[in-house]
Structure 1
Amino acid sequence: MTLNITTAARLQRHTGKCTALLQRHSAFRHVRCMMLVGYNTHRYHMSGYEDELDDIQFDFLRWQFGPAPSFDWDVNHHRLQGLPDNSEFTWNLGADRSRAQAAYDADTLWTPLAELLLLLPGLTNLVYGCPSQFPPCLLRALHDKARSHRPRLHLHTFELRMLEDGSAASDGIPDPHELALITSPCLDSVWLVDRKIRVTVDSQQITHTLPGRQAQALKEMIKTEGLAPNLRKVRVMQGPTSRFSSTDPRALPRTWLPEELESRDRKKQTVALEHLELTCYGSIPSVTDADTQYWQGLTNMDTLRELHLTQSVDERGLHELQSLRFPALTALTFRCVDFPDACYMDGVKQFIRNQLRLEWLRMLAWDWSVSSFTDNPKDGSSTHQRPNRTLRTLHLEYSICLPSSPPRGAILSRFYLASPSEVTQLGAFHPCVEHLCLVVRRSKGDCNEVARYKALGASFPRLKRLSLTLDASPPGVVWPRPVVWSSPVPRPENSTDSFENHYCRVRPYTNGHIMDVMVNSALDGRLARQIFKAIASPSLETMIVRVKGGTDFIPFPRLPGERPLMNQMPGLALTPWLNGLAREWRVERLLPDADVKVREISRNAEGWVRQGDNPMGVHEMDPLVKHFRTLWPETRSGSKGWFDDWESWPLASEA
């Protein structure tokens, strides 16, 4: 069950409704997982008449039952069930700036939920994703339940307030509740935002980048006996760094960590982590050899079952990973660097193929223009050249086109499969895949596009669930070397003087390119059904299909010192149009001979609570109206706007 926490009054009311429902159906024993999410800040502390409104008017005020959190095949697993997706690290997920004392002040507000926890005999997982500190009453309830069985606590907004300025730690007094939290036997996983510190030596002007307070505290928890005795999962998101000046890079402030964490008298331990994820937000460097060595010194890699590197891994980091052994690894996420060379891609393939027990693989930003994912490394050192029969889940996910000029001359990055042969080769190398996430290039529904769908069904005989992303990005651009700033970009040869062949606001793209993006982005329920039937896989049960890339226009290089004109970017101007065209659908077949059911699951679908502003609002003087009406000139009867006046172009076999 999931509760979105906002105000104390709503928490009490929702907890009462939930308790009554469970009691009426004698269902307390069936609750296995509880997720607590929300933004319990002053922004949503509504009062007066608004507090009396029906909760269904606010999308973030719901509580609901559903399947337990899962990473089994797609990041939109929850959305398939009509539930909010709270499974991933997001840019705004993190702890608030409250003081340590705030947890005690608000503790009584959480009492109704603590009482509900004590009524759930089968609870095994409590996921906490609220920005405030985990409440003391909930921790006491978990410890009371631990007398019979030990529920697992997952802190997705982990932070020790006693380490920040203005807390009790500044006076050398650690916080009792936070000490009880990090020594709790229930603590199973933590998600941490690490703000690294740049320490500069004044005399030599040498800068060192060190982990921040919270990361240092986590390090002490991992290696010190008695702290976090059952910690098994760690996720660290790196954020922007802050500066600290010192005469010695090791001379951190006296109150950097409380004495209970820094004590050298305690015995050291090696935590057997099972799950490690390194990710980032903003302009953060890649995972390097230093990061890999840091975590190798903290945990026993022999026990690691899941390694998720959603932060790009540079060449030194990749070389260090290749020198390590991961005998128990069954799940891997790996993000490639921008503009890799063939040697780097061969190293990635070699590292993946050395993981002989791998069952779940997620690849981010694999550049098909450099190397095929199925080819053997060029050096011939691969010992795993036969088809991979252990992999059951494969994600080759979408990555946006890079906005800068590529340094490889005429080669452009490509993150999608462009031909049926590439799909066939992928299926031949991974014949046992049952859950597949793939990016396929759209080409206005022509025969080549249909052939790619048919190759999917023919190449993966065990395919059960498919997450299909259709790439509708405009064609890539290669700038001439050197760029002649004064000369115009030539138009295509043998082009006629028509509207489609005129340049749009940003050269070298034409109006035809924008119209192609609109056609390739237009995805309605009929087209989703046609794609499912074109795949024609008898084992396929569920497919979700979406469109990406419509805004990935690469602007023409500007003159030195010239500022970009934001209102002339086709990608930005297309945003409201793509909100109405690029829909997201779930296609499901419960039985082999049953009819196919199609349901829209995007944020603009009927039944979803929309924001106050209109994401599909278009001004009548918008210049892209002409592009849209050239493709779909008719206004339908009863139309409420342009978003009701279109339909997808059918596949070639259905035309």
Structure 2
Amino acid sequence: MRCVMQEPCEAVVSAYLTSQACHRASALLIFRQINITIRHHEGLRRDIDRLIKALSRTDSARHVRRICIQGALRLNVEETDSDGQATNWLKACGLEEILVDDDPNRIAARYVVHDEPVIKRSSEEDMAWAPVVSLLQAIPHLEVLVYDCKNQFPPSLLSTLHEQHPQCKLYHLTFRFRTLLWDVLDPYERELATSPSLYRVKVVCTPRDSDGEDDFNLEAMMELAVGLAPNLKEVIIFTIYAALASRYNRERDSWKGLPGFSSELMGSLTSLSFIGVPDFTSPTHLQNWARHTDFACLQHLVLGGGYNGQSAGLSGETMEWVAQNYSFPRVTTLRVTLDRDDALAEKPHYSENAVSFFRAFESLEELSISGPIDSHIVDAILCRHGQTLKKLHLRPFEDLTNLSNGRDRRDIPMEFTKDHILQIQAYCLVLEDLAIPVKRNKSSASEAEIYRCFGEIKSLRFLLLNLDCSDWQVCRDSTYNPQFNNEDQKPVEYREFAKLGNLKETFINCAVDEALARSIWKTISQSKTGRPLERLKLWTTGGGEYGDSSKLCTDIMIIWDLSRSWLIERVPRDDQDDIIVRELGQHARQLSDVQARDSLEDEAGQAFRVLWPSKENSKDWRDDWSSFPLEV
């Protein structure tokens, strides 16, 4: 088990060590949140006792407002997680540190609703949580308990919340019913589901699980939101297709309903998120929820999103239908994934439908969009919401499939130019948080000029730049005909359209080391007006993408090593401009290096060596490359 306080910034720690007065002021920030990761029950009491003693010694228990518990409590040390082989794809790729706002699927491909019995009060498993109960009893002013453990929420913790912290909000991020198919719902599951402490719920559900059992957790959540859980305000629905479920080809059983549910009542959720497979971003699904939930009360809305690394999004027709049938007058935070949905038939009105959809919302303060977007959509968003936007995340992408309905795809992800950045600057006067792609152009002066433009966004404090190294023109633009010199004009052996020059440009663009990261930070900071930039993330992506689906090829390991991502943070001190630079996803990259090839004898390796000859006494090609300096 691991217990840590919320990670404080360097300035807070310094103040904490300076004097008794500073100690008291800083302790409030350092101890405000406690994060607990549980792996097995051995040592749990010892570690919690140490934590309670530390809080007592520093008189800091009164400062704790939030406790986050994650992991899995195993009674047998030799047990392993049943879904241990189902690695979180974001974590495996090192992107969990970058895409912190994403909600990845953490469930194994095989999914069973009733995978374990309901936890019993005073059982061995329940009693194993006694140390955490002691911690909750030692905290006088707990406001939020975040529970993200594989185990079902234990009765002892629920009783402690009700008795010791009746005003504490429970964020249950692994919630689900296990006994919905029983004749009578398990009493404890009903008690947990209707608890006045329950405030936020995330539930993973599927139409049918891997054992052929129907899963009615989705229907149950709709009814809970009506008022059976009196203080439930935030619901996250993560819908999956369970492996092997297709073997059971039959109609679903009828849903019996939860005891006490009344269809005449209407829920008043403030936050609703639909993530997962495409069926659950359809008009029918939204209609079902509208019967139970007053969309006019929503303040936060998520429509579509990641499923095992893929995205299920709203089609143009669905966006048009939503705009015509519903209003969201109080929504200030919107996260949406879009989908052209034109594999079987052309959808010429997609852009107009998207424009109507975003105009249907009032003044948004936070907006995140993934999927096909164009200048018309961006113009409509900035005109409608620019004056109020504090956060804007744009992640354009297109379907890599080359053929749809017998025609060649020509869609290319939107490229943001200098004029687009200046347009954002002109419209978004209070923008603090921006995520946007920047097309890499071999560290040229024109690329550097785009970085400088970000400095003119006066309120900007947090910036995530997707350093886009792709070149979709190679396969998608019929007029594309670059004139490379000499050998660079030669076609790449394992690519249908790319030339050796394209491959070299890809390597140059993907080569993002610490020196280049610092240079980009410096270029933005030197031109920054208004508030100083506090954090910059650089996410290097797209290497080897040429607008077709043949990405896995012999150059992939070179691209993987070159494409590094970085976090740069300003040290919060007034007397100097120190920064902290850290590579993101470094652990995942180093693990892949173990399996990476050591020789560079093929065509890709030869192209690499033209750009970066072997250094004297070099033992590994990974130590030979460096970024091309930014032209400033």
TM range (shorter): 0.7 to 0.9
- The equivalent position to 2:576 in structure 1, one of 568, 589, 594, is 594
Match of residue 543 from structure 2: 550
Match of residue 234 from structure 2: 233
Which deviations, in whole Å up to 9, do the C-alpha atoms of 1:454-480 show, x marking residues without a partner? 22223x222111111110113334479
CA distance in 2, matches of 1:151, 1:480: 57
- The equivalent position to 2:469 in structure 1, one of 455, 469, 472, is 472
Aligned 8 A contact 2:364 2:385 in 1: no
SS at match of 2:207: strand
CA distance in 2, matches of 1:326, 1:173: 37
Return the offset for 1:555: 4.6
Correspondence list, 1:363-402, <5 A: 363-368=369-374, 371-376=375-380, 385=383, 388-397=386-395, 399=397, 402=400
Matched, 1:18 2:16: no
Match of residue 611 from structure 2: 631
Paired positions, count: 557
Matching residue's letter, 1:90: P
Aligned 8 A contact 1:387 1:428 in 2: no
- The equivalent position to 2:359 in structure 1, one of 324, 343, 353, is 353
Correspondence list, 1:214-613, <5 A: 214-223=217-226, 225=227, 227-240=228-241, 242=245, 252=254, 257=256, 261-263=258-260, 268-281=264-277, 284-285=278-279, 287-310=281-304, 311-322=312-323, 323-338=325-340, 343-368=349-374, 371-376=375-380, 385=383, 388-397=386-395, 399=397, 402-405=400-403, 412-458=410-456, 460-478=457-475, 492=481, 496-498=485-487, 501-535=490-524, 536-538=527-529, 539=531, 540-555=533-548, 570-589=551-570, 590=572, 594-604=576-586
Matched, 1:114 2:133: yes
Structure 1, 405-414 or 120-129: larger mean CA deviation: 405-414
Matching residue's letter, 1:597: I
Match of residue 139 from structure 1: 158
Matching residue's letter, 1:446: S
CA distance in 2, matches of 1:493, 1:525: 30
Match of residue 61 from structure 2: 28
Return the offset for 1:314: 1.9
SS at match of 1:345: helix
Return the offset for 1:409: 6.5
Aligned 8 A contact 2:442 2:505 in 1: yes
Match of residue 193 from structure 1: 204
Matched, 1:158 2:175: yes
CA distance in 2, matches of 1:275, 1:491: 46
Query: Identity across aligned pairs (percent)?
Result: 24
Give the 3 Å change call, closer, same or farther, for CA 503–217 of structure 1 in structure 2: same
Aligned 8 A contact 2:237 2:275 in 1: yes
Match of residue 67 from structure 1: none
Match of residue 13 from structure 2: none
Aligned 8 A contact 2:474 2:480 in 1: no
CA distance in 1, matches of 2:593, 2:482: 41
Return the offset for 1:418: 3.9
Matching residue's letter, 1:14: D
Match of residue 18 from structure 2: none
Matching residue's letter, 2:534: E
Matched, 1:126 2:160: no
Aligned 8 A contact 1:580 1:616 in 2: no
CA distance in 1, matches of 2:200, 2:365: 22
Matching residue's letter, 1:631: L
User: TM-score scaled to structure 2, two decimals?
Assistant: 0.79
Aligned 8 A contact 2:472 2:545 in 1: no
Alignment root-mean-square deviation, CA: 3.6
Matching residue's letter, 1:506: R
Matching residue's letter, 2:69: L
Return the offset for 1:578: 3.4
CA distance in 2, matches of 1:77, 1:250: 37
Which deviations, in whole Å up to 9, do the C-alpha atoms of 1:339-389 show, x marking residues without a partner? 675632233233323422310111111433xx4334359xxxxxx957731
What runs of 5+ residues in structure 2 fail to find an aligned partner?
1-33, 81-93, 305-311
CA distance in 1, matches of 2:200, 2:223: 15
CA distance in 2, matches of 1:469, 1:513: 20
Return the offset for 1:285: 3.7
Which deviations, in whole Å up to 9, do the C-alpha atoms of 1:50-78 show, x marking residues without a partner? 9xxxxxxxxxxxxxxxxxxxxxxxxx999
CA distance in 2, matches of 1:392, 1:192: 29
Return the offset for 1:16: 2.9
Structure 1, 123-132 or 286-295: larger mean CA deviation: 286-295
Give the 3 Å change call, closer, same or farther, for CA 622–6 of structure 1 in structure 2: farther
CA distance in 1, matches of 2:591, 2:418: 43
Give the 3 Å change call, closer, same or farther, for CA 10–343 of structure 1 in structure 2: farther
